[in-house]
Amino acid sequence: MSDIVMIPVGPICKNRAQMRREYDLMKLAELTLQIKSRGFDADRPLLVHQNGDGGYENIRGHRRRMATLMAQHLPPGDWDIEAVREQWSTIAAIHDGDVEAAAEALAAEHGDFEVPVVIFTGDHKQATLALWSDNFGDEDPDPLGVAESLLVGIEEFGISPDEAAKHMGQHRNYVDNHLALGQLHRLHPEFADRVIREMSMTIAVIVMALPADKRAALVQFLAATPTTAVTVANVKKTAKLLKELSFEMPLQFPHSTRRNVARAFIKLWHDQLEEAPVRAYLGAAIVLFAHQGYKEPWTDPNLVVEWLKALGVQYAGHWATALEPYLDVVSCATCPIANLPDTLLGVDVTSPAGLPCRMGYKVQRCLHGIAPGDPFHMRVPMGWSGHPGVKSQAGSYYVDSYDDLLTAWQAQQTAEESKADPAPVASTKSSPAAGSKKTAKNKKTARPAPAAEEQEKPSGPSQLEIMRAQVGFYMDAHQTLNTGHFMATQCARCQHKLDSSPTSDPSVPHCAWTSHNRNVEFSKIEPVNAGVFEPVPICQQYAPNIPWREIIPEYPAPGQLPREWMIRYITALAKERVGIEGYKPFQWLTGRPMNSSERYDDWFVTQLEEQQGDLSDGQVFALFVMVHDEWKRAKRFGDDGIFHLPVGGAFQLVPAQLNKWKMEQ
C-alpha cells in the first residue's frame, strides 16, 4: 500500500469484479449532495489498482467516484436532494437507464478533476479479494452483481470458492448459489432474472449441476413454464430424472408388440439424441416434469403419444405409424405369423394382437410382428381360451410357439365350421351305459312310447338359440340405457365384439360368446329412488379391450392414505368377496372367463397387480372407495341388495340395486 496521491478521476474505471449492478438513485443523490457541499473527503481516498495500460481499476469508492463526477457537472447554486436525484434520473434516461454509462459520459466531460487515491500494490487476485472485503455488506448488492463478481475472481484470477467465502464473510453455499446464478445468466439471461425476482436461487444450483446438454434443455423448458408451476421440489425431481435418463432395452416383455414398441422408440430416441441432443432432452424434460417420475414409454400407449408429441415427431393417424419406420429388425418376410393360413376366421387374431396381415392389409412390417431370435409369445382372442396350447394369465390369453398358434387356429376353424348349423342340444341328463346292470331293470320299468302326435310336437328353440337371441337383444337394447357411466359394459369396447358372425350363419350376433354353448347373464344397475339416474347396462360376460386407467374415474388423491396400503386393502376385500356364491368382484374391469374350466378367483387380484402401476393415486383411491361398498353389498349387510353407485363424475354416491335384466323373447 502506498501514500495518498492525487490523480484525475476520469481514467479510474469500474473494477471487473465490481458487485454492484443496480443503484438507488436517492442514495446516490445523497452522496452527490454531500460531495457538492463539502468537497471530496481526503481522509477517505479511493483505493485503486493499476491495470497495466496506464489506467486504474477501482477497488473501493466506486459510488463516490460517480457522485464526484455528478457534483462537478452540477452548476453552482442551492441544490436539494430531490433536484439532484432528478439530475441523475435524467442523465440515466439518456443512456437507456444505465447509471454506469451515464457516469462514464460525465467522466468524458469532467474527467480531469483530481481526487485523492491510494494505489494498491498487490496483484489482481489480491485486489479482487480486497474489493470483496472492503465492499461486501456496505449496502446490499444485487444477487447477479455478486454472481458476476465471483465468476471474474474465480475464473480470471484463480480465487477458490472457499477463499471467496472467507473474504466475503459468507458460507460456502452462498458462494456456490451465486456462482450457479452467474452461470445461468450466461446461458439464459431472461430466465436468470426470473429466478432472482420470482423463484429460489436453489433452482439455479439444481439446473447448473446437470451435464451441458441436459442443463440447456431443462433451462429452455423452465423458461417457457409459468412461474406458478415451478417449485424447488419439482425442478429437483425433474433434474434427477433427466440426469439418470437412459433408455435401455429390457430383457423381458409380456408380448411381442411391447417389445417392438420398445425397439422402435429406443431407436427413435437415439436418432434424435444424435441429431439434436438439446432438443431431445427438452422433450424428455416436458414429459418427466409433467409426471414427476419415469415410466418406460412402451408400457403405456398414452405415454408413447406424450413422448412423440414432446419430441416433436409428426405423424398422421395412429401413433404406430410414427414408430414403424424405426422397426428395422422386424419384417413380414421373416415373421412366423405370416405362415398362418390366409383364411380369416370369425374369431381371428385380428384382436387383440391387431395384425394387419390378418386384416387384408399389405405391409412390410408391423409392431405386432416377431423378429428372428425373438421368443414367441403372442396374445390370442379370449374366444380361443379352450383350444390346445392356449394359456392364460391375468385375463390375457396367449400361445408360446408358432406350432401352438397354428393348432389353436385350426381348433377355432373346426369349431366355427361345426357350429355353422348347430345340431339340437343334447339333454344334460346322462343315459345308462350300454351293458350295465341297470339296463334290464330300466327296460322293465320303462314308460310306454309316446303317441304319434306327441312325437311330432315341435321341441322349441335350443339352449344355444336362446342364448344367441339374448346376446343379440342385449347388443341392441343396451345402447338405449346409460352407456356413459364408467361401469356400463359397452359392446363397443368389449374384446368379444366381432366384425362379423363367428359362424357361417350371418344372422348369429357378432359376439364371440355366441360360438359357445353357455348360459349368459345380463343385469341393470337401477336407482332405489326412481329417476335419480338412468339404468346402467351390465353384461356379465364383458371383457374390456381398454386398460383400467381409461375406465376408472379419478378422485382427488388422498394425502394421508399411503398408496401401498390402499392396494393391500383393496386386494384383501376382493379376495374375501370372491368366494361368495354368485358374485365376482369388478367384472366391469376384468371380464368373465369364457372357458368353463377356468376359475375367476384370482382374475381381479392378478390384473390389479399388473395394471395398478398405470393408475394414478386418485384412481387407486376411487377403487378403494368402491371396493368397500361392494364388499358390504356382497356380504348382504341388511340383505336388501342396496349399494352406493358413484355418479356425476364419480363424486356423488347414490343408493342403487343390481337387478337381473329379463331378456325379451
For the segment 450-457, the average pLDDT, to the nearest whole number, is: 47
pLDDT digits (tens, 9 = 90+) for 563-612: 888 888 888 887 776 555 555 667 778 777 776 666 666 677 878 887 88
| Chain centroid, CA 455 distance in Å | 69
- The whole-number pLDDT of residue 447 equals 44
For the segment 371-378, the average pLDDT, to the nearest whole number, is: 89
Distance CA 484, CA 165 (A): 65
Task: Confirm if 525 and 486 have CB atoms less than 8 A apart.
Answer: no
Q: Which of 228-242, 329-343, 384-398 has the lowest mean pLDDT?
A: 384-398
* Residue bearing the bigger pLDDT, 135 or 48: 48
pLDDT digits (tens, 9 = 90+) for 255-266: 888 899 999 999
Task: Confirm if 95 and 107 have CB atoms less than 8 A apart.
Answer: no
Average pLDDT, the chain: 83
Q: Which of 184-188, 215-219, 325-329, 544-548 has the lowest mean pLDDT?
A: 544-548
pLDDT at 434 over 50: no
**Neighbouring residues of 449: CB distance < 8 A, sequence distance ≥ 6:** none
Residue-by-residue DSSP string for 96-108: TT-HHHHHHHHHH
Apex CA 126: angle with CA 120 and CA 130, to 5°?
A: 70
pLDDT band at 145 (very low <50, low <70, confident <90, very high): confident
What type of residue is 407? T
pLDDT band at 123 (very low <50, low <70, confident <90, very high): confident
Considering the entire predicted model, what is its pTM?
0.61
* Residue bearing the bigger pLDDT, 43 or 179: 179
Q: Which of 134-143, 331-340, 475-484 has the lowest mean pLDDT?
A: 134-143
* Residue bearing the bigger pLDDT, 215 or 594: 215
Residue-by-residue DSSP string for 577-624: HHTSTT--TTHHHH---SSTTS--TTHHHHHHHHHGGGS-HHHHHHHH
**Which of 157-161, 181-185, 357-361, 623-627 has maximum average pLDDT?**
181-185
* Residue bearing the bigger pLDDT, 442 or 111: 111
Helix (H) / strand (E) element for 526: namely strand 522-527
- The whole-number pLDDT of residue 315 equals 86
Task: Confirm if 330 and 365 have CB atoms less than 8 A apart.
Answer: yes
* Cross-strand pairs, 661: none
| Chain centroid, CA 473 distance in Å | 41
The percent of residues above 90 in pLDDT, for the chain, comes to 32
What type of residue is 178? H
Helix (H) / strand (E) element for 146: namely helix 143-157
pLDDT digits (tens, 9 = 90+) for 294-332: 999 998 888 899 999 999 999 887 888 899 889 989 888
Q: Where are the domains of the chain?
A: 4-141, 336-415, 466-660
Rg (Cα) of the chain, in Å, rounded? 40
For the segment 656-663, the average pLDDT, to the nearest whole number, is: 82
- The whole-number pLDDT of residue 514 equals 87
pLDDT band at 347 (very low <50, low <70, confident <90, very high): confident
- The whole-number pLDDT of residue 433 equals 38
* Residue bearing the bigger pLDDT, 520 or 267: 267
Q: Which of 334-348, 360-374, 476-490, 566-580 has the lowest mean pLDDT?
A: 566-580
* Cross-strand pairs, 659: 524
> Of the candidates 367, 339, 141, 110, which has an alpha carbon nearest to the alpha carbon of residue 258?
367
- The whole-number pLDDT of residue 664 equals 58
Dihedral over Cα of 253, 257, 263, 269: its sign: negative
pLDDT at 396 over 80: no
pLDDT at 198 over 90: yes
- The whole-number pLDDT of residue 432 equals 38
Distance CA 313, CA 428 (A): 60
- Strand duo 56-60 + 46-50: pairing: antiparallel
DSSP 544: B
Q: Which of 342-351, 444-453, 531-540 has the lowest mean pLDDT?
A: 444-453
DSSP 256: H
Output b/e per residue, 79-94; b: 16+ Cβ within 10 A.
Answer: beeeebbebbeebbee
pLDDT digits (tens, 9 = 90+) for 237-280: 999 999 999 999 998 888 888 899 999 999 999 999 999 999 99
Rounded alpha-carbon distances, angstroms, from residue 172 to 154, 159, 179, 183, 591: 14, 13, 11, 17, 62
Q: Where are the alpha helices (DSSP H) in 199-343?
A: 202-208, 212-223, 232-244, 256-275, 277-291, 301-310, 320-323
pLDDT band at 436 (very low <50, low <70, confident <90, very high): very low
- The whole-number pLDDT of residue 459 equals 62
Distance CA 618, CA 525 (A): 24
